[in-house]
């Protein structure tokens, strides 16, 4: 049985053309700084973002944690949204790796109020309190279902942070999606912040890799720490080639993922006992409102029908569209979910959307 895998956009396989790019890649030793394909990727992405330099890293988590480490000193306080990836999905790395305190701020669908940032500031002359040094933001916001942090809100938040002399880091693992959905360029998003991380292994479909971008001295510190943490890679141009191919061929097509996510959401709304918000990008959140719809049982029943979705929390399931999911797969997923919900609740299906 062919599986419709909607667990994440990280599950994609390299396309045939991407595999060819990998096979042709010119390589060197990146720890010595002489892998030409990595050099080209870092140069190109830094220019795309309008920043001085960039650093290729194995994962978005490493990119985010390198940013925290490079912007702060042990004992500093880091402001971030209470459901952000850096706070809840990176194993407490802020404390474990950088010796910093995490100060979560509650936001509306991932968007912090700039006034909350201002209120979280501390008097740097007070020797009794931690030094607040960094604000971390996320766009799109994973936990809230791929919602976009609006550009004007991002700019207001960075203005509030900079007024307190804080640095601002943007977890832009899916910033490509925000850019395609809004028409706001990566350069414009990046101009608001001091550093950002972009991911190639999610919507862009590369097998491995993210990139950290910022000022030259910041990237130099991050490069040194990457080696300390075991992230120095040798002939990594074979992976960087896949990322360059993705930049050339897989950015604009994110609009297809967004369209398919909207179709998936519309179809799932016809199932009884659920609430499905309109997706802004490629993540569909399915809220199980009827008590008989138990998350793990629903996932098992979908699995039996050849559809994989992901558990999000006890009453939510997540489905993510990506380049390996076409229209036919979306229709299979809709039919499977409607059948599972209808059979569980003993209710006939509503009209297909």
Question: CATH 3.90.1150.10: does it fit domain 253-345?
Answer: yes
CB atoms closer than 10 angstroms to residue 187: 13
d(CA 101, CA 325): 40
Q: How does DSSP classify residue 254?
A: H
- Indicate the domain borders of the chain: 16-248, 253-345
CATH number of 16-248: 3.40.640.10
Q: How much is the mean pLDDT over the chain?
A: 96
pLDDT at site 145 = 95
Indicate the pTM of the whole model: 0.95
351, pLDDT greater than 60? no
100 closest CA partner among 64, 66, 61, 68: 68
CB atoms closer than 10 angstroms to residue 152: 9
pLDDT tens-digit profile of 118-130? 999 988 888 899 9
11, pLDDT greater than 80? yes
């Amino acid at each position: 049985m062919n599986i419709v895998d909607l667990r994440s956009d990280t599950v994609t396989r390299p396309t045939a053309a991407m595999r060819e790019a990998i096979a042709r890649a010119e390589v060197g030793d990146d720890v010595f700084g002489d892998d030409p394909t990595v050099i080209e990727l870092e140069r190109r992405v830094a220019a795309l973002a309008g920043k001085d330099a960039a650093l290729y890293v194995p994962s978005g988590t490493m990119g985010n944690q390198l940013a925290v480490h490079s912007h702060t000193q042990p004992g500093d306080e880091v402001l971030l949204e209470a459901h952000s990836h850096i706070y809840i999905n990176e194993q407490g790395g802020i404390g474990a790796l950088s010796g910093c305190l995490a100060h979560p701020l509650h936001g509306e669908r991932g968007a912090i109020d700039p006034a909350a940032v201002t209120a979280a500031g501390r008097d740097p002359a007070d020797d009794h309190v931690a030094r607040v040094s960094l604000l971390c933001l996320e766009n799109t916001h994973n936990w809230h279902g791929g919602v976009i942090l609006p550009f004007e809100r991002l700019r207001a938040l960075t203005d509030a942070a900079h007024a307190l002399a804080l640095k601002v880091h943007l977890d832009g693992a899916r910033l490509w999606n925000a850019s395609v959905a809004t028409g706001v360029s990566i350069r414009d998003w990046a101009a608001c912040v001091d550093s950002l991380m972009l991911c190639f292994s999610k919507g862009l479909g590369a097998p491995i890799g993210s990139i950290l971008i910022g000022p030259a001295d910041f990237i130099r510190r991050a490069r040194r720490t990457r080696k300390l943490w075991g992230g120095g890679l040798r002939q990594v141009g074979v992976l960087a080639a896949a990322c360059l191919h993705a930049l050339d061929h897989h950015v604009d097509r994110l609009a297809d993922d967004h369209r398919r996510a909207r179709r998936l959401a519309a179809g799932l709304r016809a199932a009884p006992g659920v609430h499905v918000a309109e997706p802004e990008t490629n993540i569909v959140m399915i809220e199980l409102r009827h008590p008989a719809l138990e998350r793990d049982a629903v996932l098992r029943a979908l699995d039996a029908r050849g559809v994989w979705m992901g558990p999000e929390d006890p009453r939510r399931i997540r489905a993510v569209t990506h380049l390996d999911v076409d229209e036919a797969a979306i229709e299979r997923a809709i039919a499977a979910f409607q059948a599972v919900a209808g059979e569980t609740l003993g209710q006939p299906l509503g009209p297909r959307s």
